[in-house]
Structure 1
C-alpha cells in the first residue's frame, strides 16, 4: 500500500522540487492502493512542492454546455417540450460549489480544500493551492476557455511544470494554449448556464473550437523528439502510475511547431 511518504519520495525521484508550480492531471486509480486515498496523494504533492510551491488542477464542468457529449447523450430523443424543460433545469455553475466533471478524485480533493482558489469560468475552471493560486486563477475571461487569458496563460508566464500522473498526453490541457496561438483558428459559439445574483442565467460567447482528439499523437511526437535521458521530459512511476514531468513552456512552444505544420503533418514526417 502506498503512503504519503512513499509517494512523496516517488515525486522527488521524478523531479518535483520545492517551490515548483505544478499543473497536475492525475488518475488515482492508476497509482494503486493508497492509504487515505486522494487526500494522501494531495498531501504528498504539497509536501513535494513545499509551502512555496503551487499546485493547479483542471476542475472543468464540460457538461455545462449545449454541445458537449454529456449534454447530447442526456437529451437524445427528447421532445421539444422535454428539451426546453431539461435546459431550464440544468444546474448553473457556481465556482464555490459546482463539482468538476470527469477530472478525477485528486481534482475534486483540491477543489474542496478550504484554502483552494478556483477560476470563474463556467466550463474550463482551474483550482489551485499555494502562494500563486490567486494570481493563476484570477481574470479567467469568459471568451477564453484555455488561451492567454486563462490560467494556462498565467502558468506559462510562471514557468510551471506539467505532471501527467497515471494519465496520457490525451488529457494534457497545456496543448490547448498552443492550439489557441495558431493564426486563423476556427471559432464557434458556446452556451453555458451560470449562477448570478439574480438567479440562474444562460450566457453565450465565441471562442476557439477546441479539438483534443489528436493530443495523443502530439504527445507521442513530443516524446519521440526528446533524446532519452537528455531532454526536459522525465518519466517514472508515482506508486504504480506511469508518469511524466515536463516544463509547460517547453511543451507549449514545441507543440506550436506541430500545430503550425498542420497538426499531424510534422509527426508524419518524423
Structure 2
C-alpha cells in the first residue's frame, strides 16, 4: 500500500469525509509525515466539494505580540527602533507563516490557495468554499464570529489535530468572544496601505490560551475520534462542539 493511500484510509477512519470543510493543525516534527503528501491525501479525501483550511498566523508581524517582544528582547532602544522600521508589511500573498508548521506553509503556498487579510491571525484555504471562508476578515476580529474561524463554525466544519494537543486548539479562542466582559487590549501591526507600509492600531479581545490544555482535558472523548496518521497521534471533532464546550468551561471556571 502506498503512503498516500494509507494516509487517505487513516483520514477516513478519523471521520474525514468527502465534501467536508476541515480546519487542520499539524506539527510534523518528529513524525514520518511529509507536508506535501499529507496535503494531497487531505485533498483527495475531501474531494472537489470539500475545503482544506489551515491557520496561517503571523504573530511576529506586530509591535505588541509576545512573538515580537521575544525578537527584540535585549536590543538597545536604537536597535529596537531600527528593527521595527525595517519590519516588512503583512502581505497575504507573500508573508510566510513558518511558525504554524510545515503543513500550514505548504497549503498557503499551494496553487489556488486563498488567504485572509488579517495581519496576525490569517487563515489559508484550498477548495470549494475557500473564498467564502477567507474573504472579509476584519482586523478588529482576530478569531471572532466575523473571522474565518466563526464562518467555519457556522458551516459545521470539523477540526483535525495532528501531533498537537488542545493547548493550541484555535477553536477555543472563538469561545472567548462569547464570554461576557472578556477584557480588550490594544494591538499594533504593520500592514500594506496606500502603496507603502503603515502601522495600524486597533482593539480586540485579549486572547488567552493559558488554560486551553485544561479545557481540552475536560472535553468529552465521546465527542471526538482519535487515531493515528502514520506514526502521529491525531484526533477530529466538531468545531461547534469544541466552542460550546469551551464557552461552558470558561463561564464556570475561568477567572
Q: TM-score over 0.5 for the alignment?
A: yes
- Does structure 1 residue 255 correspond to structure 2 residue 246? yes
Pick one of 152, 158, 161 that aligns with 1:164: 161
Task: State the shift of 1:191 in Å.
Answer: 0.3
Contact 1:54 1:128 in 2 (8 A): yes
TM-score by length of 2: 0.96
Q: CA deviation at 1:80?
A: 2.1
Note the aligned Cα RMSD (angstroms).
1.5
Q: Which of 70, 79, 83 is the aligned partner of 1:82?
A: 79
* Partner-residue secondary structure (3-state), 2:253: coil
Quote how far apart the aligned CAs of 1:262 are. 2.9
Q: Does 1:179 align with 2:170?
A: no
- Structure 1 segments, 4+ long, off by >4 Å, are none
Mapping of residues 33-48 of structure 1, within 5 Å: 33-34=32-33, 37-48=34-45
Alignment size in residue pairs = 255
2:101 counterpart residue number: 104
Deviations along 1:45-81, one digit per CA (max 9) or x if unpaired, are 0111111110100000010111223222221232222
How far apart, CA to CA, are the structure 2 residues paired with 1:70 and 1:181?
Answer: 26
**Structure-2 separation of matches of 1:217 and 1:102:** 23
Cross-structure match for 2:208: 211
* TM-score when normalising by structure 1: 0.91
Cα distance per residue 1:124-178 (max 9 Å; x no partner): 0000011110011011110000111110110011000000011111111010001
SS in 2 for 1:207: strand
Does residue 54 (structure 1) correspond to residue 55 (structure 2)? The answer is no
Residues of 1 paired with 2:2 and 2:38: CA distance?
9
In structure 1, list runs of 5 or more residues that go unmatched.
265-270
Contact conserved, 1:2 with 1:239, CA < 8 A, in 2? no
